[in-house]
Amino acid sequence: MSVDRNAPCPCGSGRKFKKCHGAAVPPEVAALPAPERERLQRAVQLIERDRRIHQELLDWCDRKLGAEWANAALDQFAGGPDNELSEYDESFYAHWLLHHRPASATTATPAVQWLEMQRARHGARMDADVDALLIAQHESRIGLWRVTQVDVGVGYGLHDLLTGTTAFVYDDAGTLGEQPDDVCLGYVLTLDDIQLILGTHLDLLPMDEAEQIAQQVRDMAGVATDRASAARVPREFLADPLLHVTLRHAWHERASGYWNAAGHGGSPLHDGILGEPPGEST
């Protein structure tokens, strides 16, 4: 059966057929083995589903938790009411707020509360993808992710400077724009044996700058600094949402200094100069 190109894609992504499974397949993707293409398509579906859930969660927080809660969370994240959230922070902040910061001292995160409400409402009719995606978000791990591999149109190989773990995250749109040895701050989740990086801070850093932040975290965790164990910060230590705020402040401060010295207000995601020493970009 043919599908109208302007109709919603039957896969459930929410995109038009012509921009989803009806779109022309990039040569990099066409060259993939069929199972790998299917995994990429599944990853794209999950990313689209996450975007829709994300907005529902934010709307629910506005209605149920209110402005006082939102302002307190923002003050905690930004370091006080006089500090503002930059556009580079927004994705990281939203992920931290919804999936890692408890709504209060005695309650779960907003996303977990919302999920429990949905389970109670829908029972056996609960959307399995929504359920699994929110659990994966809750269990996602923060990291300083060094890019080790770039597969154009497919995704990135990553290595976490803090724990030494590796991941291959799917990103068909190349939205992160990384090149090998770029480092990003963000959360990696695993669902259906597919890994995604979400909630990334849009400032990128070169390896030597990010490594200094990683060393600060190792010192905080009391981790030995010899080469054999330098990248082994315990995951339970990294689970503390207040540590995520500390990481954000360290990242923001170092990125601001680095890119201001280089003559940029923030890291240039797509112009290919990441990694050049400050003052040498043209």
Do 147 and 232 share a structural domain? yes
Do 137 and 17 share a structural domain? no
Do 207 and 179 share a structural domain? yes
Q: What is the dihedral of CA 158, 164, 165, 169, to 10 degrees?
A: -10
Contact call for residues 144 and 254 (beta carbons, < 8 A): no
d(CA 180, CA 16): 33
Distance of CA 35 to the CA centre of its chain: 25
Give yes or no for residue 71 having a pLDDT over 60.
Answer: yes
Do 110 and 215 share a structural domain? yes
Give yes or no for residue 113 having a pLDDT over 50.
Answer: yes
Do 223 and 100 share a structural domain? yes
Does residue 258 belong to any structural domain of this protein? yes
Do 18 and 131 share a structural domain? no
Does residue 198 belong to any structural domain of this protein? yes
Contact call for residues 28 and 152 (beta carbons, < 8 A): yes
| Domain around 20 | 1-31
Give yes or no for residue 269 having a pLDDT over 50.
Answer: no
Give yes or no for residue 260 having a pLDDT over 70.
Answer: yes
Do 96 and 27 share a structural domain? no
Does residue 274 belong to any structural domain of this protein? no
Which of 28-42, 219-233, 237-251 is the least confident region?
219-233
Does residue 275 belong to any structural domain of this protein? no
Does residue 166 belong to any structural domain of this protein? yes
What are the two backbone dihedrals, phi and then psi, of residue 254, each rounded to the nearest 5 degrees?
-70, -40
Concatenated DSSP letters of 8-24: BPTTSSSSBGGGTTTSP
Q: What integer pLDDT is reported at residue 228 of this predicted model?
A: 47
Do 231 and 99 share a structural domain? yes
Q: What integer pLDDT is reported at residue 160 of this predicted model?
A: 95
Position with higher pLDDT, 104 vs 98: 98
Contact call for residues 259 and 203 (beta carbons, < 8 A): yes
The 10 Å CB-count burial string (b at 16+, else e) for 67-104 is eebeeebbeebbeeeeeeebebbebbbbbbbbbbbebe
Mean pLDDT of 12-17: 64
What total number of domains does the chain contain? 2
pTM of the model: 0.82
Q: Is 271 exposed, middle or buried (0-12, 13-18, 19+ CB in 10 A)?
A: exposed
Do 3 and 139 share a structural domain? no
Concatenated DSSP letters of 74-123: HHHHHTSTTS---TTTHHHHHHHHHHTS-SSTTS--HHHHHHHHHHHHHG
Q: What integer pLDDT is reported at residue 19 of this predicted model?
A: 64
Does residue 270 belong to any structural domain of this protein? no
Do 19 and 76 share a structural domain? no
d(CA 178, CA 169): 12
What are the two backbone dihedrals, phi and then psi, of residue 139, each rounded to the nearest 5 degrees?
-95, 0
Do 112 and 5 share a structural domain? no
Q: What integer pLDDT is reported at residue 278 of this predicted model?
A: 37
Query: DSSP strand E in the chain: where?
Result: 141-151, 155-160, 166-170, 182-191, 194-198, 205-206
Q: What integer pLDDT is reported at residue 188 of this predicted model?
A: 96
Average pLDDT along the chain? 83
Highest mean predicted confidence (pLDDT) among 27-41, 70-84, 182-196? 182-196
Do 11 and 75 share a structural domain? no
| Contacts for 214-221: CB closer than 8 Å, 24+ residues apart | 214/144, 214/161, 214/162, 216/250, 217/162, 217/243, 217/247, 218/162, 220/246
Position with higher pLDDT, 263 vs 261: 261
Mean pLDDT of 100-129: 93
Position with higher pLDDT, 25 vs 61: 61
pLDDT band at 120 (very low <50, low <70, confident <90, very high): very high
Position with higher pLDDT, 58 vs 173: 58
Mean pLDDT of 110-134: 95
Does residue 216 belong to any structural domain of this protein? yes
Give yes or no for residue 133 having a pLDDT over 90.
Answer: yes
Among 190, 194, 197, residue whose Cα is nearest residue 42: 194
Does residue 268 belong to any structural domain of this protein? no
The pair of structure tokens assigned to 174 is 């190349």
Position with higher pLDDT, 27 vs 24: 27
The pLDDT tens digits of the residues spanning 157-199 come to: 999 999 999 999 998 766 556 688 899 999 999 998 899 998 9
